[in-house]
Structure 1
């Protein structure tokens, strides 16, 4: 695994807290994937674990569920009445 050349801060996708990664350390693969700047790594190259998108590495067991689709909402009844120019009664 690659080592960091500079101190770096990343946001943990699960806890949403900032994590301090120190220079010279080999961060955990889930944190390494969040460091996108090649200048932060020794040798100036992203490690293989960082090449994966962070969204895929942070997926839990529920990552395979389809997302809910939003349906179009019907406007409020008063809006139709305003278009007609009547009180809606």
Structure 2
């Protein structure tokens, strides 16, 4: 695995946090695949990931569909609400 020659921040997809990869480190293949800039690597080439991570597979398959939440309409308040009710509050 090639070493980093520059320190970089990447977003860990498993933990949803920023991770600092320091110069001289050999990051894990999952994190190394996130560093796309060839100038950050010792040999000037971006390493290839042996297999895609589980998160990338589910996105590629189209399995990740977010549920939408329906929000109920808020009841009208104030002068217009009183007019809509009919008696005007009298």
Does TM, normalized by the shorter one, top 0.5?
A: yes
Q: 1:26 to 1:33 in 2, by over 3 A?
A: same
- Describe how 1:3-82 pairs up with structure 2 within 5 A: 3-49=3-49, 56-59=52-55, 63=58, 66-68=63-65
Cα RMSD after superposing both structures: 3.1
For structure 2, the residue ranges without an aligned partner over 5 or more in a row are 66-90
| TM-score of the pair, normalised by structure 1 | 0.59
Q: What is the alpha-carbon distance in structure 2 between the residues aligned to residue 2 and residue 40 of structure 1? A: 10
For structure 1, the residue ranges without an aligned partner over 5 or more in a row are 69-89
**Greater radius of gyration (CA):** 2
Render the CA deviation track for 1:4-52: whole Å, top value 9, x for unaligned: 01001000112211000010110000000100000010121111228x7
Q: What is the alpha-carbon distance in structure 2 between the residues aligned to residue 65 and residue 37 of structure 1? A: 27
**Alpha-carbon shift at residue 66 of structure 1 (Å):** 3.6
Contact 1:13 1:58 in 2 (8 A): no
More helix by share: 1
Q: What is the alpha-carbon distance in structure 1 between the residues aligned to residue 45 and residue 29 of structure 2? A: 15
What is the number of residues matched between the two proteins?
65
